[in-house]
Structure 1
């Protein structure tokens, strides 16, 4: 058993420890950088071999063929219609490329990569040799991680805080909440994970509820939550961190380019500030209403230590930005103030002029 799981007050969730008895206090500590969390809901797929980066570059949405050792990024695997099938954080140490994925996607992604390997000199393994510990930079947690790991540190830096090279942000927010996100995920052995707890000093442990609440507040999409069978990157602003618009061809690239340059994504991600009067947090999949019309679904929800009850939801592009939305749980109607993340006019960036329609009337003869 992990030493994180044996700490006092640990309450198990679906994957890993949900909290240690005081989720809001844990969340504040995690936000300040004075706590870290065992990410038992995440997994590592390791790639080795001399062609690992050029091969990965050819089959995914991100430009990784020249990724320097120690650098971090994020990629998507799309189907031929441009829909998201897999998502992964990427860290390369010069010898191994680590794909950081949600645990339920580790085996499916590994299987797909093995099918796509053909003659490429790449070895692929979904492995338990590595586990993940998350923390925010700039505090005591980072100091402990640095002291324990030393020169052996492999730390993925979440790219969500900026628009990555070749990416695009659809949000019009003057101050994007993701700009302050300093999230890190240390790639460690089980022994190193336990050493972090043993040498933590004043650093506390936080559960996965705290991790998810900070992610939601930063408008950060996640494969396990915001992806469904038809989501395309544009709908959740994933072009910001996981898509390079100017790289070569890959599966789904045509749809990415067509929607971005000429069309609009059919749905859009919103942040919901929920009425907390009933102290109820809706589960993912809860229907979102505009009046009596069903217009979308909640994808993630949490109690935030400053914002109160919040959620991410995917709604139809046609829902007016000024609409007051709601979610319903049994007989409880929860009002939801909408904060636009992906606007209705997202896409159509090419500004192609419309041609004047030619008249069908016959030309007048002299």
Structure 2
């Protein structure tokens, strides 16, 4: 679904799963600085939007996701995961309940599979699940933004900013001099996500990623709630304390020209470029202050102070998930 904001001056489309919105509008670092200062907005209209209505919506979702949502107060943001039977991450939902409806946005193109799963689990519960992507677009306002949100727009307010579920018909009216200020591209949004160590499904995950590896325990996984699919894996890893991999933040030295892409294998610098792989890059970005940085998954037993190599580029670790 192509965003009308791609027609704005300087707009350059994002790539891969994020195509359909602008990667940047011609000034990547200025856009990052604006978001960091709490101004502007990000077009996330390519993300999927689902709603759940009905009397049992919260108690029903509580049985299916990793987060404790049965008593979720209206307008309180949370996030939750859907796991496979083996505890591997399949979906991440960014949720808010407005008092009558649960609103969630999910990774681009994944809403169909998630909707099919939720529909298959309705049974006798009084719930209705709907894909609202054609009707509503997600627009992100950064933390510190003083922009006024129109009455009637559902808002999900998280520590790093506000996500608006805006009627899609209003997207074309978000000009640079509009109510939310100038637009910032997805690359700026991603740079701040990496700086904040926030994982993303499809980037920091593969077919065997479990929540402990990414530090999603606490923010998206509640350890004291009842049974849900994949809980056995979560409980086992929590009790043993040994996830096979861990998320790290990397400073990439000397990669101003060549930024190693996602999937680049990581090796111990002490072993040289021909050494065995000990992990891989998950997201690499150019940050307006930190320079080239990345998130990566490495094996749990990689020393936290070990220097790494990413396609010949030196990479210094900062611990995100303790080994």
**CA displacement 1:166-222 (0-9 Å, x = unmatched):** xxxxxxxxxxxxxxxx22211110133334437626821111000100000000011
Q: CA RMSD in A?
A: 1.6
**CA displacement 1:43-96 (0-9 Å, x = unmatched):** 211111111111000111011111122111000011122111111100111121
Say if 2:176 and 2:182, in contact at 8 Å, map to a contact too.
no
In the TM superposition, residue 157 of structure 1 has moved relative to its aligned partner by 2.1
Counterpart in the other structure of 1:134: 140
C-alpha change, 1:202 and 1:276, in structure 2 (3 Å) is farther
* Structure in which a larger fraction of residues adopt helix: 1
Say if 1:48 and 1:95, in contact at 8 Å, map to a contact too.
yes
Q: Aligned runs of 1:254-293 on 2, under 5 Å?
A: 254-290=232-268, 291=271, 292-293=275-276
Query: 3-state SS of the aligned residue for 2:51?
Result: strand
**CA displacement 1:218-271 (0-9 Å, x = unmatched):** 000111311111010000001131011111111111211121122310100000
Residue 207 of structure 2 corresponds to residue 206 of structure 1: no
Counterpart in the other structure of 2:219: 241
Alignment partners' CA distance in 2, 1:10 and 1:27: 15
TM-score, normalised via structure 2 length: 0.92
Residue 283 of structure 2 corresponds to residue 300 of structure 1: yes
Counterpart in the other structure of 1:155: 155
Alignment partners' CA distance in 1, 2:91 and 2:47: 13
C-alpha change, 1:71 and 1:65, in structure 2 (3 Å) is same
Say if 1:26 and 1:207, in contact at 8 Å, map to a contact too.
yes
Counterpart in the other structure of 1:96: 101
Say if 1:3 and 1:197, in contact at 8 Å, map to a contact too.
no
Query: 3-state SS of the aligned residue for 1:197?
Result: coil
Query: 3-state SS of the aligned residue for 1:100?
Result: strand
TM-score, normalised via structure 1 length: 0.82
Query: 3-state SS of the aligned residue for 2:207?
Result: coil
| Unpaired segments ≥5 residues, structure 1 | 162-181, 345-366
Counterpart in the other structure of 2:308: 325
Say if 1:276 and 1:308, in contact at 8 Å, map to a contact too.
no
Which residue of the other structure, out of 79, 85, 88, is the alignment partner of 1:80? 85
Alignment partners' CA distance in 1, 2:14 and 2:222: 35
Query: 3-state SS of the aligned residue for 1:24?
Result: helix
**CA displacement 1:265-324 (0-9 Å, x = unmatched):** 010000010013552212111111113120111111100011000000001001111110
Alignment partners' CA distance in 2, 1:277 and 1:298: 14
Q: Which runs of 4+ in 1 moved over 3 A?
A: none
